[in-house]
Amino acid sequence: MKLFLIVATVIVSLFSQLPILQSSAAETVDPKVLFEKKCKTCHSTSRAKSLNQTREEWTKTVMKCKERKNSNITDEEAKIIIDYLTKTYGKK
């Protein structure tokens, strides 16, 4: 009986953690909103929108701006934005 209680508690606590894990970072972030928010602090987003680049080129562009002073862009955000830009403004 005691063992059953322990097992049940562990299972319940595992399941109750799941929504927390799922709602973290990437899942809830809209890449477009993130791009608009992070990339227009220094210049207009049309700078990026006027380009069509491969994933490598977008990585270079985003990393270059990410490394600038006070860019306020994290590694994870950069990854999401690169994905978004490659899909939306990829080289045709």
47 binds ligand HEC (CB under 6 A): yes
Measured from the CB atom, is 17 or 60 closer to ligand HEC? 60
Shortest distance in whole angstroms from residue 43 CB to ligand HEC: 5
CA distance from start to end of the chain: 64
80 binds ligand HEC (CB under 6 A): no
Token pair recorded at residue 91: 């080289």
39 binds ligand HEC (CB under 6 A): yes
Phi, psi of 89 (to 5 degrees): -125, 45
> Do the beta carbons of residue 80 and residue 26 sit within 8 Å?
yes
Site size toward ligand HEC (CB under 6 A) is: 17
29 binds ligand HEC (CB under 6 A): no
Q: Determine the length of the chain.
A: 92
Query: Within 13 Å of residue 54, how many CA atoms lie on the same side as its CB?
Result: 2
Residues that bind ligand HEC (CB under 6 A): 38-39, 41-43, 47-48, 51, 61-62, 64-65, 68, 70-71, 73, 81
